Structure 1
Amino acid sequence: MTGAASLPGGRHGSIILLLRLSDAIAAILLAADLVVVCVSVLLRFLFNAPVEWSDDVARGLMVGSAFFGAASALARGENVGVSFFRDMLSARLQAVVDATSALLVVLISFYVAFNALKLGALTAGQTTGSGLPLELTFYPMGVGALFMTVFALDHFRSRPLLNMIKGVVAIAAVTGIYLAWDYLLPSSMPSSGTLMFIGFFVTLFGGLPIGFALALAALIFIWVEGAFPGVIFAQQMARGIDNFVLLAIPFFILVGYLMEANGMSVRLIELLQRAVGRMRGGLNVVMVASMVLFSGISGSKMADVAAVGSVLIPAARRSKQNPGGAVALLAASAVMAETIPPCINLIILGFVANLSIGGLFIAGLLPSALMALVLIAVSIIFGRRPASAEETEPRVPVSGLWSGAIAAFGLIFMIFFGFKTGFATATEISAFAAAYAIFVGSLVFRELSLKSATHSFVQAATRAGLVLFIVAAAQSLAFTLTLQQVPHAVGDFMLALSKTSGVWLFMLLAIVVLIVMGSVLEGAAALIIFGPLLMPVAVQLGIDPLHFGVVLVIAMGVGLFAPPLGLGLYGACLIGNVPIEQTVKPIMGYLGLLMLCLLVIAFVPAISTALPRAFGY
C-alpha cells in the first residue's frame, strides 16, 4: 500500500518527470472533486442553494483523474493481469508474450487517446445539461491516455531489441493471417463476436492487464465490423465512468489511505489486539474483526487487506504462527467483507444493475455477519494462545488507542447516519468521510502532514484510476455485447433452464459463473459484464434483486481469492510476503466454509432481505 506512490528506479529522467506530473494532475483533480462535492452539499443543506453545475463538474473531474491515475499506475507496472498460464511457458516464449502484450498496451492506449481527443474536437460547442462545455470531459481523458501511451512505450522499449522485434512480428503475423483469411475465404471467416471472445481470452491468459484485455475485445469487434467509428469506443469508455455514483469509489479509497496515514488504522488494530489478542486464536480473531471494521470505513478491499495485513502478518510471524495460514485467513476475511458497506463492488453493481446502493449496503450486513461469525468461531476452535505476552502486546499506550477507535467509530456512524437520514447520497457521504479523515488526522491526532496527505491523494488517485479504467473498458465491452444481443440470449437461455429445472438451478449457475469469472477477471469487470445479464432474469424469476445482488458479490469475492487464478489472493500474498503455495491448503478450507455460508445465504433470502425491508428499501 505504501509503495503506490514511489518512483520507479532506472527510468529515464523525462519519464520520471512525466510520472510526477501525472501524479500531480490526478491528485489535484481528485482534491478539486472533493471540494466541489463537499461545498455543493453544504450549500444545498445549509442555504437551500443547490449548485446546478456541481454534478457535471464533479463527473468531468473524475474522468480526468481516473485516466491520469490509470496512467500513473501503468507507469509503475501496477496493472493486474492473469499470470498463471503465462508462467507455465518457457522463459524464451514468456519474453515474446510479454513484449507482445506491452506493444498491445501501447496500441490500445494510443487508440483511446486519439479518439478521445477527436471526440473532444467533435463536441466543441456542445454543452452539458448545466451549460458547461462538453469537450472538457473528453480532452482530459485524451491527455491522460496520451500519458498512458508514453508510459506504455517506455515499458516496451525497456525490453531487449530482439524481443521487441518478435512482439511486432507476432502482432503483424496475426493481423496478416486475419486479412488473408478474410480476403481469400470470407465465407469461412468466424463472426466478429467469436473473434472478440477469442482475442479476449487469448490475451487475458497471455498476461495482458485486465483493463486492456477488455478494451481490446471491444476494439476487435469494432474493427472487424467496420461500421462504427473509433470515437464510439472512446465515448463508451467515458460513459462507463461518467456517473456521479462512481465518485464514491475514489473517495472511499482515499478514506482508507488517509486512515493509514493519520494513524487511525494502527490505533484501531492495536486496541483490538489489546482486547482479544490474548484469548485462544486471538490474533486470528483480531484479523477478522479488523477487516469487519475497516470494511465499514474504506470501500477498497485491497486497501483493507494492505492496512490489516501490514500490521498483523508480522505479528503472526512474531508469535510463531504459520504466515501462510494468516494470509489465507486475511484473504478469507476480505471475501467476508465484500458485502460490508461501503464496498466498491456493491456500488458498481448498484450502478450497472440500477439498484439502490443504500439498499445493497443494508442487505449485505447480515450475510457478512454470518460469515464473520463462522470465521471467528473457526479461529477460536482451532487456534492457540500466543506463546508470550511480549510477542503480541501492542506498544502504543492504551490512552492513545481509544482516540483512534472513537474516531473510527465516528466515521462509521457518519456513513450509516447519512444513508439512514437521506442527508446525502453515497458519493456525498464518501466525500464527507474523506474530509472527516483529513480533519481528524491533521487537527486531532496531528499526524497527517501536508506531505502525507499529498501522498494519500496520489495513492488514492492511482488506485482509483486502476479500478475505474477497468470499469470504463468493461463498459465498452458491455456495449458490444449488447449490440450482439448477448444479454437477451443469455436471459432466454437461463429462463428456459429455470422453467424446466427450477429457480434453484439458476441460482447455482449464477454462483458458479461469478466464482469462475471472478477468479479470471478483476471483481469490477465480472460484475459489470454479468450483473446486467443475470439481474433481469432473476427479477423475472421472482428473486429479490437486493438478495440476488448480495449473492453475486459474495460469489465474485470467492472467485477473486480462490487459487490458482484469484488475483486477490496474489495481492494478499504480496502484502504478506508469502508464496502462494503456502496459502493454498488453508485458503481452500476457509473458502469451503464461506461457500457453505453462501449457499445458506442464497437459499434463505431473509438473511439478505430482512434488514432492507425493516429500513424501507
Structure 2
Amino acid sequence: MAQASTTGGVDGRTLAPKHSGVIPKIVSLIEIIAGLALVADLVVVVGSVLGRHLFDAPLVWSDDVARALLLSLSFFGAAAALAHGENAGVTFFVDQLPPWIRAPIDCLVSVTVVVVAGALCWNSFLLTRETAGQTVGAGIPQEVFFAPICLSAAAMTVFALDQAWHHKLRHILLSVAMLGVVAGLWTLWSLASPDTLPGMPVAMLIAFVVALVLSVPIGFVLALTALVFIWGGDILPGEIFAQQMARGIDNFVLLAVPFFILVGYLMEANGMSVRLITLLRQGVGRMRGGLDVVMVLSMVIFSGISGSKMADVAAVGSVLVPAARKSGQKPGDAVALLAASAVMAETIPPCVNLIILGFVANLSIGGLFVAGLLPSALMASALIVMAIAMGKKAPAPDLAESAAPMKGLLGSALAAIGLIVLIFGGYRSGFATATEISAFAVLYALVVGGFLFREMTWKTAAQVMGKAAVRSGMVLFIVAAAQSLAYVLTLQQIPHAVADFMVELSSAHGTWVFLLLSVLILIFMGSVLEGAAALIIFGPLLMPVARQLGIDPLHYGIILVIGMGIGLFAPPLGLGLYGSCLIGGVRLEETVKPIMKYLGVLFLCLLVIAFVPDITTALPHAFGY
C-alpha cells in the first residue's frame, strides 16, 4: 500500500525510515514478540478445537487468552510496521511538492505520529492502572489486555521520535511550534468566546482532511480525529480512547484476519503460488490475451485461499508483471489489470474485509462468503472477456516454463483445492468457526510446504510468521483506530443524522437512490481510507438503514465491499493502487489510463449486482442463510 514515511521521496516511492543506535534491536525484539503472539494464538485456537472434538474437554479459557494474544499481536505488529514505514497513507498530494517543501511536511508528519502514539501510550497506561485487580470471566487479569497496548505504544513513540530526530532541527522546532500554536489558539478561543467555537464535527473534519492530505498514516489519521474530540470536547476522559482502541480488535472473530494473511504468505514461501501460476500459464497462457487471463484467474484462485488482498497482489504480481515485461506488454497495463483483479477478488472468500464487515455489522460471515461467489464470478468474467477482446497474440513459450514438471504443478493444484475444501467444508460442516478454520488452514499450508513441496524450512517459517504479524498489525491497528472514531461519531449522533437523511431521501425518490448513494459513498471513502476503516465507519452506519428499507443485509454487505474495493484501487488516491504500483515497480501515472477502463467495467458490474439482488441472495438462500 502507499506509505507515509519521514524519508519518503517525491517521486511516488517510499524509502525505509532511518534508525540509529539501539533502535534496530528494539524493532527486532518487537517483531519477535508479535510473531510469538501469532504462534501462541495458533496453538491456543487449534488446541481448543481439538480439545472440544477429540477429548470432549473444551478449554474454557481459550477465547480470553486468544483475544489477549490478538491485542499483543496487533499493537506490537503495528509498532514494527511503523518502524519499517509500512503504515498506509495517501502520498498523492505531497508527492507533487518540491523537496524543500516536502521535507518540513515529512517532519510534521513524524511529530504528529509522536503525539498520537504518546497519547495512546499515556492513556493506555492510565487504563491499565485503573483496571488493576480486575479480571475477565476466565480469571485473567485485565492488565493482560491493556498492558501490551501501553508497551507497544511506547515503542511506537520511540520509533516516531527517532524518525523525527533525523530531520533538520529547524524543521522539528517548526513542527512542534505549529502544533503548539494550533492547540494554544483553540484553548484561548474556548476561554475568550466559547459560544463562537466551531462545532466538534467541523474541527474533527478539518483535522481529518489536513492529516490525510499531509500523508499521515491512515491509522494515525483516524486516531488523531478521535483525539481531537477528546481534547477539544472536554467530555470524555482519555482512557476512553485507549479502551475503544482495544475494543476495536478485542474479538475472537478478528483472529481470522492474521491467520488468513499468514496463509497467503505461507503459500508464497512454500512454492504453491509459483506452481499454480505456472500451471495456469501452461493451460491458457498461449491464447489471445492469455497472460491477462492468467492474471485474473490467478487472483480468483489466490483470493479463495488467502484473505489478504495485498498478499494476493504480491504473490501474483511478483510472477506475472515481470512476465508481462518479457512479453513486450506495457508494465503499467499489467499492473492496472492486477489492481482491477484485486477489486474483483474483494468478495471471494475468505476476504479479510468480508470478515471485518461481518464483525462490525453483525452479519453471518459464512453467509457473506457464499453471497460473494456469484458477484465475483460476474466481475471475473467481465475482466476475462476484456482481456481476450483487447489482448495480443501470445508470445513464444518460455523454455524454462515449458520444462516445468506437470506432476509437480498438478500436485500444487490439488494442494490448493484441498485448502479451499478445508476452508469451506470445515466451516459448513459445523466442525469449527471461520476463525478456527483459518487456524487449520495455516497448519495445512505449513504441512504442504514442509512435507509435500519440501520448500518450507524452520527459518523460512519463522520469517513468514514475523512478516505476517507485521502486516496483520498494520491492518488491525487501522481497525482499532476506526473503532475509536466510530465511537466518537456515535456520541455526536452523526450516524443517526445520516440515517435519517438517507431514509428521507429514499422515501421521496425510491430505494434505488439509497443504493446508488451507498455505492458512491463507499467508492469515495474507500479511496481516501484503507478499506477496513471505510467499512468499520460506514457499515454499522448504513446497514440499519438498508434493513429499514427492506434490503437484504447480505446483498447490501456485498455492495459495500465491492464499492469500497473500487475506491481502494481507484486513482489518484486509492491506497491499493499505490501498493500494486510498488509491487509491480511502475509509477502511478502509467496505470491511470488503463485502469480506468477496467474500473468502468467493474462499476457497471456493481450496478447490475446492486439492482439485481438475486445475484447475491440466490446462493445464501439455497444454503440456508
Match of 1:27 among 29, 35, 47: 35
Match of 1:330 in 2: 338
Partner of 1:570: 578
Match of 1:407 in 2: 415
Q: 1:525: Cα distance to partner? A: 0.5
Hey, what does 1:158 align to over in structure 2? 166
Match of 1:426 in 2: 434
Task: Name the counterpart of 1:286.
Answer: 294
Equivalent of residue 40 in structure 1, options 45, 48, 51: 48
Structure 2: distance between partners of 1:214 and 1:490: 19
2:463 aligned with 1:472, yes or no?
Answer: no
Structure 1 contact 518–560 (Cα < 8 Å) conserved: yes
Is 1:549 matched with 2:557?
A: yes
Q: Give the direction of change, closer, same or farther, for the CA distance of 1:84–1:20 in structure 2 (3 Å limit).
A: same
Give the distance between the partners of 1:152 and 1:299, measured in 2 at CA: 30
The DSSP-based 3-state class of the residue aligned with 1:436 is: helix
Matched, 1:602 2:610: yes
Find the counterpart in structure 2 of residue 114 from structure 1. 122
Residue 94 of structure 2: aligned partner: 86
Partner amino acid for 1:106?
Answer: V
1:414-453 matches, cutoff 5 A: 414-453=422-461
Shift of 1:9: 8.2
- 2:599 is matched with 591
SS of the counterpart of 1:415? helix
Letter in 1 for 2:68: G
**3-state SS in 2 of match to 1:13:** coil
In percent, how many aligned pairs have the same letter? 62
Aligned mates of 1:606, 1:394 — CA distance in 2: 43
Verify the 8 A CA contact 1:316 1:326 in the aligned structure 2. yes
Residue 622 of structure 2 is aligned to residue 614 of structure 1: yes
Conservation of the 8 A alpha-carbon contact between 2:38 and 2:70: yes
Secondary structure, in 3 states, of the residue corresponding to 2:320?
Answer: helix
Which residue of structure 2 aligns with residue 561 of structure 1?
Answer: 569
Instruction: Give the stretch that moved more between structures: 393-402 or 246-255.
Output: 393-402
Deviations 1:218-275 (A, max 9, x none): 0000111212211111000000000000000000000001111111111111111111
* Match among 385, 405, 409 for residue 393 of structure 2: 385
Q: Structure 2 regions of 5+ residues with no counterpart? A: 4-14
How much has 1:395 moved relative to structure 2?
A: 5.1
- Displacement of 1:349 in angstroms is 0.5
Aligned with 1:87: secondary structure? helix
Corresponding letter in the other structure for 2:510: G
Give the ranges of 4+ consecutive aligned residues of structure 1 lying more than 4 Å apart after TM superposition.
7-10
Given candidates 219, 230, 243, the residue that maps to 2:227 is 219
Given the alignment of the two structures, is residue 258 of structure 1 paired with residue 260 of structure 2, yes or no?
Answer: no
Contact persistence 1:346–1:553 (CA under 8 A): yes
2:462 matched residue in structure 1: 454
> Which range is displaced more, 180-189 or 510-519?
180-189
Between the aligned partners of 2:187 and 2:23, the Cα distance in structure 1 is: 36
The alignment status of 1:276 with 2:284, answered yes or no, reads yes
Task: Report the TM-score, using the length of structure 2 for normalisation.
Answer: 0.96
Aligned to 1:396: 404
d(CA) in 1 for partners of 2:55, 2:291 = 49
Q: Which deviations, in whole Å up to 9, do the C-alpha atoms of 1:51-104 show, x marking residues without a partner? A: 111000000000001111000000011111111122233433322222111101
1:499 Cα deviation from its structure 2 partner: 0.4
Aligned twin of 2:503? 495
Q: Deviation per CA, 1:261-294, whole angstroms, max 9, x where unpaired?
A: 1111111111111111111111111100000000
SS at match of 1:82: coil
Could you report, residue by residue, the CA deviation over 1:486-544 in whole angstroms, capped at 9, with x for unpaired residues? 11111111000000000000000000000000000000000000011100000000000
The one-letter code sitting in structure 2 at the alignment partner of 1:123 is T
The whole-number CA distance in structure 1 between the counterparts of 2:354 and 2:400 is 35
Tell me, in whole angstroms, the C-alpha distance in 1 between the residues paired with 2:402 and 2:607.
38
Q: Structure 1-normalised TM-score?
A: 0.98
Q: What amino acid sits opposite 2:218 in the alignment?
A: I
Paired residue type of 1:192: M
Are the aligned partners of 1:386 and 1:392 in contact in 2 as well (CA < 8 Å)?
no
Please tell me the residue identity of whatever aligns with 2:439: A
Residues 201, 9 of structure 1: alpha-carbon distance in 2 compared, 3 angstrom cutoff: closer
Distance in 1 (CA, whole Å) between partners of 2:107 and 2:21 is 23
Provide the aligned length of Structure 1 versus Structure 2.
613
1:421-455 deviation digits (Å, cap 9, x = unpaired): 11111110110000111111112211101111011
Residue of 61, 72, 82 corresponding to 1:53: 61
1:346 aligned partner: 354
Structure 1 counterpart of 2:84, from 76, 88, 96: 76
Q: Structure 2 counterpart of 1:218, which letter?
A: A
Deviation at 1:118, TM superposition (A): 2.0
Q: Provide Cα deviations, 1:156-177, integer angstroms capped at 9, x if missing partner.
A: 1111112111111111121122
Aligned to 1:123: 131
* Correspondence for 1:295 among 276, 300, 303: 303
528, 531, 540: which one aligns with 1:523: 531
Greater Cα shift, 30-39 or 443-452: 443-452
For 1:241 and 1:12, the matched residues in 2 are separated by: 32
How far apart in 2 are the matches of 1:87 and 1:449? 41
Partner Cα separation in structure 2 for residue 147 and residue 256 of structure 1: 28
Which of 246, 257, 260 is 2:254 aligned to?
A: 246
* 1:169–1:353 CA distance, 2 compared to 1 (3 A): same
Most deviating of 590-599 and 183-192:
183-192
Structure-2 separation of matches of 1:245 and 1:393: 41
Which residue identity is paired with 1:233?
F
* C-alpha distance in structure 1 between counterparts of 2:401 and 2:426, whole Å: 36
With over 3 angstroms needed to count, the CA separation of the structure-2 counterparts of 1:267 and 1:142, relative to structure 1, is: same
Distance, in Å, in 1 between the alignment partners of 2:571 and 2:17 is: 32
Contact 1:318 1:392 in 2 (8 A): no
* DSSP-derived class of the 2:586 partner: coil
For the Cα contact (< 8 Å) 2:295–2:320, is it kept in 1?
yes
Q: What's the counterpart of residue 8 of structure 2?
A: none
SS state at 1:80 partner:
coil
- Distance in 1 (alpha carbons) for counterparts of 2:400 and 2:120: 51
Q: Is the 8 A contact 1:319 1:392 kept in 2?
A: no
Structure 2 counterpart of 1:312? 320
Q: Is the 8 A contact 2:370 2:620 kept in 1?
A: yes
8 A contact 2:274–2:319 mirrored in 1: yes
1:132 matched to 2:135? The reply is: no
Cα 1:306/1:394, change in 2 over 3 Å: farther
The one-character-per-residue Cα deviations of 1:158-212 (angstroms, maximum 9, x if unpaired) are: 1111211111111112112212222222221111222111111111111111000
Counterparts of 1:192 and 1:98 in 2: how far apart (Å)? 27
Determine if contact 1:281/1:382 at 8 Å carries over to the other structure: yes
What's the counterpart of residue 508 of structure 1? 516
Identify which range, 74-83 or 181-190, moves more after superposition.
181-190
Contact 1:319 1:391 in 2 (8 A): no
Give the SS at the match of 1:401: helix
Segment drifting more, 193-202 vs 28-37: 193-202
For 1:206, the aligned partner's letter is L
Residues 17 and 84, structure 2, Cα contact 8 Å, conserved in 1: no
Q: Distance in 2 between matches of 1:610 and 1:91?
A: 55
Cα distance in 2 for residues equivalent to 1:210 and 1:11: 22
Tell me the residue number matched to 2:107.
99
